Amino acid sequence: MTQLKTDAYIRDLFEFLSIPSISAQKKHKKDMLKASRWLEKKLKSLGFQVKILPTAGHPVVYAERLPKPSAHRHTLLLYGHYDVQDPGNLDEWSSEPFKPEIRSGNIYARGAADDKGNFYTWIAALEELSKKSKIPTANIKFLIEGEEEVASKNLEDFITQNKSLLSADICLISDSRCLSETQPAITYGLRGILYTEVHVEAFEKEIHSGLYGGNVTNPTIVLAQIISKLKDEKGKILVPGFYQNVRKLTASEIKKLNKLPFGEKEIIQETGAKKSFGETDYSIPVRAGARPTLDVNGVWGGYQGEGEKTIIPGKATAKISMRLVPNQDPESIKGKFEEYVRDITPDTVGVEIKFLSSGKPTVMDIDNKFFKKADAAYKKVFGKKPIYELSGGSVLATAAIKEILGVDSILMGYGLPDDGIHGPNEKFSLTMFTKGIKTNIDFLKSL
Amino acid sequence: MTQLKTDAYIRDLFEFLSIPSISAQKKHKKDMLKASRWLEKKLKSLGFQVKILPTAGHPVVYAERLPKPSAHRHTLLLYGHYDVQDPGNLDEWSSEPFKPEIRSGNIYARGAADDKGNFYTWIAALEELSKKSKIPTANIKFLIEGEEEVASKNLEDFITQNKSLLSADICLISDSRCLSETQPAITYGLRGILYTEVHVEAFEKEIHSGLYGGNVTNPTIVLAQIISKLKDEKGKILVPGFYQNVRKLTASEIKKLNKLPFGEKEIIQETGAKKSFGETDYSIPVRAGARPTLDVNGVWGGYQGEGEKTIIPGKATAKISMRLVPNQDPESIKGKFEEYVRDITPDTVGVEIKFLSSGKPTVMDIDNKFFKKADAAYKKVFGKKPIYELSGGSVLATAAIKEILGVDSILMGYGLPDDGIHGPNEKFSLTMFTKGIKTNIDFLKSL
């Protein structure tokens, strides 16, 4: 294969990365539109017909390039998302999150790996083929949403309403990772999610800790007690019935997963943890992909300023999310979670439980012929067959695409374990960027 | 007694209340100086010799007016503080905290009751007597600190270094409350305090909750577990040895305390709590004044923004303070607290325990002759004898003044239970302001 026009693609991608399209924050609504228009312009330049379609939230960018019909023509659905996570504390970033730059072989920016850069490998692959007049024979449809980072709130409705528009034989998603620059991976299962906010209120306003301390409850302590009853000190989730429908893995699945190079060493290297922590009955790769979790994503209440403030806070809040695995049903878990939290909340406080979003877990059929083609493309570019992984993350689109459209998704992602997605200094490896474009080209040519 | 020049005093006090002298926050250093200079000018106008004396933190305003020596002349030490608490969430204030205003018979401002307005009753009393050329015969010294709200960090050192300057027969402090506009009270005991910050760290940066959830610890959950092991669900503090030196009240003390009109009804009315909560073996007034407490004053970790962020926080922090009673020793509790927290912290995280401040609890000798004079002054102005109260709050100066100078303090405070000190919409009753000035005048005249 000849040299790619990598420099031009990087310049182009940098434009896309510069748009702070943070879907969770209302103040970035204009940036969301800007990012969708950027995609519209880009895909039009590649000969696609593009529509920016409204949803109850941020719009979906839909694009299609359908050669004249042929009975043997395959239809690909390329899924990606143009929204990104909030960059968090800017002090922890070495360069500004929305001013992309290259340092030692990596692109640093919010969204570099998740998902703008990762997804851009498909755009670059199509552009590359266009330049060489090797237009793929397959029908290609793009479904690029703006709400992946807020649990694809409106995607299920959108897919339901646009079923025929989105019909396809296979969906391709580059929103996952390989194990290293030399070991490719295909994700064949993803966890679902249930994201909640628990609000505990004891007083309308904070009160004096000297005058009332000893005679009233403390909502931050009550919230701590609730949290400590959600998960025990061995990592077991205590919500009754939580594990009820968790699919048991087959012995051969466990064996395959346990071959993954994801153990104590990798956990420590990638996260900086002192050691791993989790259910001792399961191995690290099994825990990562096939076991549900419960985590507090944020907690606050009372005085957070400098020095002392001698008050009892009036309220306390925690953001608590659960990652779900097949065959847990988010709706059923929602009921169990709410009932349990109400049950363990003392009558000295009021409690409100908000459900921010939810999405179902999925597992794909890897015997699908398109998996074999993806497998071959990886083999050709990386020189190694991909490992099949159950990811701990959630790409909620996969469940909706499977359930509503009846289409499996192949997660051909080019991130790396140390990309730091969702955290500060998110990066995307230039080597993976190039290999990703090449793998996509190969896959497209194989159809 | 003739009419007081209340309007003039209010105008004057409003100037003082307009200065945002928040001692806990470095950005208010200039305001702290401004407040100390305001006092300097004011006391000079009343014939005092004034010095602004440096400490390792905010300066102390010292002032004296010493008539020619006489064997029978009493020396009074008037203690107050010119610093205030941070106003907290401004949205919860009906008027701006540093733009004092009068609404339905109350002065609303941060510091109105704690302690600027309360303390100003002494300035007004002295001004009133001056105007009528009834200068009190006693020697009068002022000790006005700028660090009461940050646990009087440097006061012990200051008093030690200025022992002879501050020598006195009795100390008077208006930084407490009466029970109502018709029921005066003298506080004869105050709780001490130990204020800490507990920092739990699992990762340097936040990490992706999907990729790592189930395989790593979560510092916000660990902190919740620590907090829930500090105090049980019945309100008992679980730090081993915490209650060891708590002074047992005599039967007659308990009987007296239980006569205080401070019960379930008052707790609910004053705080808005659904119900009271505390150690069931003790009554509400005993719990308020004679039992130690442990409260979380603030807690935070991870994402606090709008919507979802799917991360595991790297760190979590809680501000935890304990109110101590005689004969608990803050230094000994410090050791016990630190040892216990280290003991219950799992090895998956690092923990750091910072001690922000501490102060000893105190109880006064109410048989002191000055107590009798204060008692009589209250009786004259309010028409009722004061109730003797053990306060749940802490005025740490009292312990230092007693231990280093050997001087008892009489807490003649004019706040009311619903003043909302430390919270939003702090107020000070105009009726109490006037009665306070009159009671102080009467006390000064009785010497």
Percent of chain A having pLDDT more than 90?
Answer: 81
Largest CA distance in chain A: 81
- Give the other-Cβ count within 10 Å of B47's Cβ: 12
Inter-chain touch A228–B221, beta carbons under 8 Å: yes
Backbone angles phi, psi at A173, to 5 degrees: -135, 120
**From edge to edge, which strands make up the β-sheet containing A101-103?**
A101-103, A106-108, A427-429
Res B49: pLDDT:
97
Give the Cα separation of A133 and A364 in Å (integer).
33
Strand boundaries in A34-138, DSSP class E = 49-53, 60-65, 75-81, 101-103, 106-108
Res A256: pLDDT:
84
User: Are the CB atoms for A288 and A296 separated by under 8 Å?
Assistant: no
Res B215: pLDDT:
97
Q: Which residue of B has its CA nearest to A24?
A: B307
User: Are the CB atoms for A196 and A337 separated by under 8 Å?
Assistant: yes
Give yes or no for residue A313 having a pLDDT over 80: yes
Q: Which residue of A has its CA nearest to B230?
A: A221
- Give the other-Cβ count within 10 Å of B17's Cβ: 28
Inter-chain touch A149–B216, beta carbons under 8 Å: no
Assembly ipTM: 0.81
Percent of chain B having pLDDT more than 70?
Answer: 100
CA distance A289 to chain B (A): 8
Interval B422-437 mean pLDDT: 96
Interval B226-235 mean pLDDT: 97
Give the Cα separation of B230 and A410 in Å (integer).
49
Q: Which residue of A has its CA nearest to B229?
A: A225
Res A23: pLDDT:
97
User: Are the CB atoms for B184 and B316 separated by under 8 Å?
Assistant: no
- Give the other-Cβ count within 10 Å of B275's Cβ: 13
Beta bridge partners of A61: A52, A144
CA dihedral A135, A137, A139, A143 (to 10 degrees): -50
Give yes or no for residue A85 having a pLDDT over 70: yes
Q: Cα B307 to the chain's mean position, in Å?
A: 38
Which chain A residues touch B271 with a CB distance below 8 Å?
A: 203, 207, 212, 216
> Which candidate, A288, A388, A307, places its Cα nearest to that of B212?
A288
> Which candidate, A175, A195, A297, places its Cα nearest to that of B207?
A297
pLDDT tens-digit series, residues A106-125: 999 999 999 999 999 999 99
Res B46: pLDDT:
95
Which chain A residues touch B275 with a CB distance below 8 Å?
A: 347-348
> Chain-wide mean pLDDT for chain A?
94
User: Are the CB atoms for A336 and B262 separated by under 8 Å?
Assistant: no
Interval B40-54 mean pLDDT: 97
Backbone angles phi, psi at A71, to 5 degrees: -60, -30
Interval A168-187 mean pLDDT: 93
Show the tokens assigned to A82: 């143009």
Interval B289-307 mean pLDDT: 95
- Residue A208 is which amino acid? H
Give yes or no for residue A105 having a pLDDT over 70: yes
- When scoring A115, A299, A328, A390 by the number of chain B Cβ atoms within 10 A, the one with the most, hence best to mutate, is A299
pLDDT tens-digit series, residues A250-285: 998 899 889 888 899 999 999 999 999 999 999 999
> Which candidate, A5, A186, A171, A117, places its Cα nearest to that of A432?
A117
User: Are the CB atoms for B423 and B108 separated by under 8 Å?
Assistant: no
Res B324: pLDDT:
95
Give the Cα separation of A354 and A13 in Å (integer).
37
Inter-chain touch B348–A275, beta carbons under 8 Å: yes
User: Are the CB atoms for A310 and B423 separated by under 8 Å?
Assistant: no
> Which candidate, B328, B317, B325, places its Cα nearest to that of B354?
B317
pLDDT tens-digit series, residues B378-424: 999 999 999 888 887 778 899 899 999 999 999 999 999 889 998 99
CA angle B330, B332, B337 (to 5 degrees): 90
Start-end of H helices in A183-297: 209-212, 219-228, 251-258, 264-271, 284-290
Inter-chain touch A216–B310, beta carbons under 8 Å: no
Beta bridge partners of B312: B207
pLDDT tens-digit series, residues A137-167: 899 999 999 999 998 989 999 999 999 999 9
Helix (H, G, I), strand (E, B) or coil at A421: coil
Q: Which of B195, B223, B277 sits opposite A348 (nearest CB)?
A: B277
- Residue B135 is which amino acid? I
> Which candidate, A131, A126, A130, A93, places its Cα nearest to that of A112?
A93
Inter-chain touch A393–B211, beta carbons under 8 Å: yes
Interval A371-397 mean pLDDT: 90
CA distance B27 to chain A (A): 11
| DSSP string over A190-220 | E-EEEEEEEEEES-SS-EEHHHHTTTS--HH
Least confident of A134-138, A175-179, B296-300: A134-138
Inter-chain touch A295–B211, beta carbons under 8 Å: no
- Give the other-Cβ count within 10 Å of A254's Cβ: 16
Compute CA distances B324 → A376, B192, B342, B372, B394, whole Å.
71, 5, 21, 28, 9
H/E stretch holding B124 reads helix B116-131
Return the half-sphere exposure (C-beta side, CA atoms, 13 A cut-off) of residue B170.
Answer: 22
Res B2: pLDDT:
55
pLDDT tens-digit series, residues A322-358: 999 999 999 999 999 999 999 999 999 999 999 998 8
**HEC string of B269-338?**
HHHCCCCCCCCCCCCHHHHHHHCCEEEEEEEEEECCCCCCCCEECCEEEEEEEEEECCCCCHHHHHHHHH
Beta bridge partners of A296: A320
User: Are the CB atoms for A258 and A285 separated by under 8 Å?
Assistant: yes
Give yes or no for residue B1 having a pLDDT over 80: no
Beta bridge partners of A60: A53
Q: Cα B150 to the chain's mean position, in Å?
A: 9
pLDDT tens-digit series, residues A3-43: 788 999 999 999 999 999 999 999 999 999 999 999 999 99
User: Are the CB atoms for B345 and B214 separated by under 8 Å?
Assistant: no
Inter-chain touch B204–A151, beta carbons under 8 Å: no
Inter-chain touch A309–B85, beta carbons under 8 Å: yes
H/E stretch holding B423 reads none
Give the Cα separation of B439 and B378 in Å (integer).
6
User: Are the CB atoms for A352 and A199 separated by under 8 Å?
Assistant: yes
Interval B205-228 mean pLDDT: 95
Q: Which residue of B has its CA nearest to A148?
A: B308
pLDDT tens-digit series, residues B310-361: 899 999 999 999 999 999 999 999 999 999 999 999 999 999 999 998 888 9
Helix (H, G, I), strand (E, B) or coil at B152: coil
Which chain A residues touch B231 with a CB distance below 8 Å?
A: 221
- Give the other-Cβ count within 10 Å of B341's Cβ: 21
CA distance B146 to chain A (A): 14
> Which candidate, B230, B191, B219, B222, places its Cα nearest to that of B337?
B230
Of the pLDDT bands very low, low, confident and very high (cuts 50, 70, 90), residue A2 is low
Q: Which residues contact A400 (CB under 8 A, 6 or more apart)?
A: A152, A155, A156, A159
- Residue B283 is which amino acid? S
Compute CA distances B212 → A7, A105, A270, A278, B353, whole Å.
33, 25, 9, 10, 27
Res B416: pLDDT:
94
Inter-chain touch A210–B394, beta carbons under 8 Å: yes
| DSSP string over B159-220 | HHHTTTTT--SEEEE--SB-SSSS--EEEEEE-EEEEEEEEEES-SS-EEHHHHTTTS--HH
Q: Which residue of A has its CA nearest to B307?
A: A24
Q: Which residues contact B98 (CB under 8 A, 6 or more apart)?
A: B17, B18, B19, B20, B87, B109, B110
Inter-chain touch B212–A149, beta carbons under 8 Å: no
Give the Cα separation of B226 and B418 in Å (integer).
33
- Give the other-Cβ count within 10 Å of B231's Cβ: 22
- When scoring A310, A345, A425 by the number of chain B Cβ atoms within 10 A, the one with the most, hence best to mutate, is A310
Show the tokens assigned to A149: 């980072």
User: Tokens 């990386």 appear where?
Assistant: A382
> Chain-wide mean pLDDT for chain B?
94
